[in-house]
Amino acid sequence: MKTFYVTTPIYYANSLPHLGHLYTMIVCDSIARLKRQRGVDTYFLTGTDEHGINIERAAQKNGRTPQQQADHVVDYFKRMTREFGLDTEHGGYDIFMRTTAPFHYEGVSELWRRIVKTKTPKGNDAIYKGHYEGWFCAPCAAYKTEDEYNKPATPDGVPTCLVHENTPLDRVSEESYFFRLGDYGDALLDVYESRPDFVRPESRRNEVMSFVRGGLQDLSVSRLKTSVSWGIPVPDDPNHTMYVWFDALTNYITAIGFGNEERDRVVGFEKYWPALHVVGKDILRFHAVYWPAFLMAAGVELPRAIVAHGMWLDPNGRKLSKTLGNTIELEVLHKHFSINAIRYFCLREMVFGQDGRFGYEALIDRSNSDLASGLGNLSSRTLTMIGNYCDRKIPPGQADEPELAGFVATARDQFLTHFENLAFSRALEAAWSVIARIDKMITEAKPWDLAKDENQRHTLNAVLYRAAETLRWLCVLLYSMMPEASMKLAKQLGLAETPDKIDPASLKWGELRAGAAIGDVQPIFPRIDKTKTMSEINQSAPAQPTEAAGTPATEPAATHATQADATGVATFIEIDDFAKVDLRVGQVLSAERVPKADKLLLLKIDLNEEQPRQVLAGIAQYYEPEKLIGRKVVVVANLKPRKLRGFESQGMVVAASYGEEGQPVLATFTEDVPNGARLK
Ligand code: MSP
C-alpha cells in the first residue's frame, strides 16, 4: 500500500499559538485528508519544539520551570487543535510530537552518534570540537552573521536581530561542537539540481541555491551546559547541550521510529519516511540546507520535498507582531468564526508560496460571499426544492448528461492537479466554477415555475438531480479543505457513504442514488453579521490571552500597580496625599518609537503650557504611534523629570494596567475637555 508522510514545523513552546501556526496546520491537515481520501496510508505530524534558551527564558519570565512552560503551551495547543477539529479524534494529526519525549532523546542521540562517526565528502570528521565566537538570536535560535543584524550605534553596544525587531543578540564565546556544513555545499547543490521539486516553490529553490553557492560556514551545534541547560545533552559529553535546531529537526524521524525500536514498531520509519515538510519561508534554510546535510552525513534518506509558504501580514501589509499589537489570536478566531470559514479563507486567500493579508473584515466578506451566498445558498435552495417538490427524495435524473458531466469532471481534474501543486487557491477556484455553473442553470431553468406544471415534472426532476449530483461532487472535492462542512452537506444530501471515504478521482456522474431520502436542511454556512462581529472583536481584542516570550523586559512600565503594604493589604491615603499629584489633561501632538527600546514611545503632549511636554511611555507594544496623535490623555504633570534611554521624560501618562503582562490601556475622556484642565 502506498504511504505518505506530511509534517508541519514543530512550534516553539515559549508562547501561545497564533494564526501563523494555525495556517501551517490547516495546510498539512488538508494535504493529509486528501491523501487519505485517495486511499493512501498517511501519517501527519505536528507538535512542539520545547528546548533551548528561548523556552528557558520564557519559563523564567512566567515563573515556571521549562517543563511546566512547555506543558502549559502544549495544553493550550491541544485544546485549540481539538476546537478547530485538527486533532486525531477529528481525523487530523496522527502525532502531536514533543521534543521532550524520551524516545526523541534516544533518536536524536543516535543521529548525533552516526554523524560523529562519519567523514564528510571531503574526508574530514563531520563533527569536530572548536570555539564559537559570535552573536546568537534567542527567538530565532540562530547564529547571526554581520549582514543578519543591525549594528549597534556605539562600538561597545549590542547588535539587534533584523527579524525580531529590537531583540538584543546574545554574545557567545565558548567551546562548541561544529558540524562541518562547509564540506556539504556541492552535495547539496547536486540534490537541488537533480531533484528540481526538492525545494518548492521555484523562487525559494533559487534562493536556497544561491545561499549555498555563496559558500557555507560550519555550524555550531552545541552550547555549553552552563550557558544552555534546557536541551538534550551531547552523547558522551554532557557538558554540552545540543543546538536546538539539531534536536528539533530530528523530530521528523524520531516521531516515526528512528533510533527507538518500540516507536518504530508502532509507527514505522521505513514505512513512512521520507516526509513532505511544509514550512514557512522564514525557516526554509534550516529545512532545505541544514537538515538535508545532517541526514546525508548520517546516511539517512533525504526528505521527499520541502515546501515553503509565505507569511500572513495584516490588511496594511505589515508583519504580524506583538509589538504592533496586530497578531491574530486563536481565541478570537474560535470565538467569532467557524472552522469552515477560517480554513476556506486561509486556503483561498493566500497564494501558496506568497505572502497573504489577513483581516477580520476580509474574512467576513469572503465567508458571506463565497460560502453563505455561494455554496451555502446553492445547497440550501437545492435541498429545499427537493424537499418541497420531490417529497424529500432525490429525484430521478437523466442518464446521459455529457456536457455537464464533462464540465464537472474537468473541474474535478483541475482541482486535483492544483491541489497536487499546492495551489490551494486555484483548486478552490476550480470548485467554485462548478457552483457558478449550477447556479446559472437553476436561475435559467426556474424550477419554481416548472413545479407549477405537472407536464414539466421530468424537466424539474432533471434540473434538481443535476444540482444535487453536483453538490455530491463538491462535497467530496471539498472534504479535505472543509471537512466539517463537507460532512454536514453529505448528511443533508442523504449520502450513504461519508465523503472522507470517497476518492475524488473515482467520482462518476450519475452515481447519486435517485429515491434516497435527504436529511434535515440546515444552513451550513450561516451569514456573519459584519457590524456586530467587528464590534465584538474590537471590544474583546484586549482580552486576548497573551503569553510572555523570552525577551526580558528592560523598560519601565507606564503605570504602577495599586500601592499595598508588606502584607498585601491596600493602604489608605489622605486627600492631601492625592492633592500632591498634579494630574492634567493633555493632547498628544506627536508620537514616535524610541530606537532600540521596543516598549517605549516618545510623546510630545500639549498641556496648555508654553512648550509641549516630552513624555516617555512604555506602551509601544500596544499602541501604534500614529494612532495616538490628537488623543486626549491624562498626565502626571509634577513628576520629577528623569532620563530614559537618553531622553528626558517630563511627566507620565496614566493608563490602566491589567493581565499577567500588565497590558496598558490609556485613560482618556469621552467628553470635550480643554488641554491643561486639572483632575481633582
Ligand atoms: N520551532 C521552529 C520550527 C522547528 S521545525 C523543526 C519554529 N517555530 S515557530 O513557532 O516560530 O514557527 C512555526 C511556523 O509558524 C513557521 O513555519 C512559521 O513560518 C510559521 N509562522 C509564524 N508566523 C507566521 C505568519 N505570520 N504567517 C504564516 N506563518 C507563520 O520556527
What pLDDT does residue 661 have?
66
Is the distance from the beta carbon of residue 283 to the nearest atom of ligand 1 less than 6 Å?
yes
* Averaged pLDDT for residues 526-546: 79
Q: Which stretch of 79-83, 526-530, 565-569, 571-575 has the lowest confidence by average pLDDT?
A: 565-569
Confidence of residue 660 (pLDDT cuts 50, 70, 90): low
What pLDDT does residue 572 have?
61
Is the distance from the beta carbon of residue 273 to the nearest atom of ligand 1 less than 6 Å?
no
Q: In the structure grid, which three cell numbers stand for residue 205, read together?
A: 529553490
Is the distance from the beta carbon of residue 246 to the nearest atom of ligand 1 less than 6 Å?
no
The dihedral sign for the CA sequence 416, 422, 423, 428 = positive
State the Cα–Cα distance between residues 432 and 371, nearest whole angstrom: 10
Confidence of residue 558 (pLDDT cuts 50, 70, 90): very low
- Cβ atoms of 535 and 392 closer than 8 Å: no
Closest CA to 272 of 32, 461, 588: 32
Is the distance from the beta carbon of residue 10 to the nearest atom of ligand 1 less than 6 Å?
yes
What pLDDT does residue 555 have?
31
What pLDDT does residue 551 have?
37
Instruction: Collect all residues with Cβ–Cβ distance below 8 Å to 393 and sequence separation of at least 6.
Output: 386, 514, 515, 516, 517, 518
Given 309, 322, 336, 632, which residue is catalytic?
322
Given 35, 51, 61, 137, which residue is catalytic?
137
Higher pLDDT, 674 or 342: 342
Which of 19, 49, 254 best tests ligand 1's pocket when mutated (most atoms within 8 Å of CB)? 49
Residue 171 to residues 134, 247, 461, 550, 598, Cα–Cα distance (Å): 6, 22, 75, 16, 20
Nearest atom within ligand 1 for CA of residue 310: 28
Q: Whose CA is nearest to atom 5 of ligand 1?
A: 9
Is the distance from the beta carbon of residue 277 to the nearest atom of ligand 1 less than 6 Å?
no
Nearest atom within ligand 1 for CA of residue 11: 10
- Cβ atoms of 277 and 303 closer than 8 Å: yes
**∠ CA(213), CA(219), CA(220), 5° rounding?**
165
Taking the alpha carbons at both ends of the chain, their separation in whole angstroms is: 79
- Give the model confidence (pLDDT) of 561-581 as tens digits: 333 333 333 346 567 667 778
Residue 95 to residues 31, 43, 101, 481, 500, Cα–Cα distance (Å): 15, 8, 12, 20, 20
Which of 53, 244, 309, 311 best tests ligand 1's pocket when mutated (most atoms within 8 Å of CB)? 311
What pLDDT does residue 659 have?
60
What pLDDT does residue 152 have?
83
Is the distance from the beta carbon of residue 324 to the nearest atom of ligand 1 less than 6 Å?
no
Closest CA to 249 of 216, 307, 295: 295
The dihedral sign for the CA sequence 655, 658, 664, 670 = negative
Strands (E), 481-574: none
- Cβ atoms of 632 and 583 closer than 8 Å: no
Is the distance from the beta carbon of residue 11 to the nearest atom of ligand 1 less than 6 Å?
yes
DSSP notation for 435-482: HHHHHHHHHHH-HHHHTT-GGGHHHHHHHHHHHHHHHHHHHHHTTTTS
What pLDDT does residue 589 have?
87
What pLDDT does residue 296 have?
98
Q: Which stretch of 314-328, 357-371, 430-444 has the lowest confidence by average pLDDT?
A: 314-328
What pLDDT does residue 574 have?
65
Give the CA radius of gyration of the chain: 30
Which of 6, 7, 8, 12 best tests ligand 1's pocket when mutated (most atoms within 8 Å of CB)? 12
Dist. CA 280 → ligand 1 center (Å): 6
What pLDDT does residue 399 have?
72
State the Cα–Cα distance between residues 254 and 605, nearest whole angstrom: 58
Question: One-letter amino acid identity for 356?
Answer: G
Confidence of residue 288 (pLDDT cuts 50, 70, 90): very high
Residue 214 to residues 193, 281, 282, 283, Cα–Cα distance (Å): 16, 19, 19, 18
pTM: 0.80
State the Cα–Cα distance between residues 593 and 587, nearest whole angstrom: 18
Is the distance from the beta carbon of residue 307 to the nearest atom of ligand 1 less than 6 Å?
no
- Cβ atoms of 159 and 144 closer than 8 Å: yes
Q: In the structure grid, which three cell numbers stand for residue 102, read together?
A: 524520551
Confidence of residue 541 (pLDDT cuts 50, 70, 90): low
Neighbours of 206 (CB within 10 A): 12
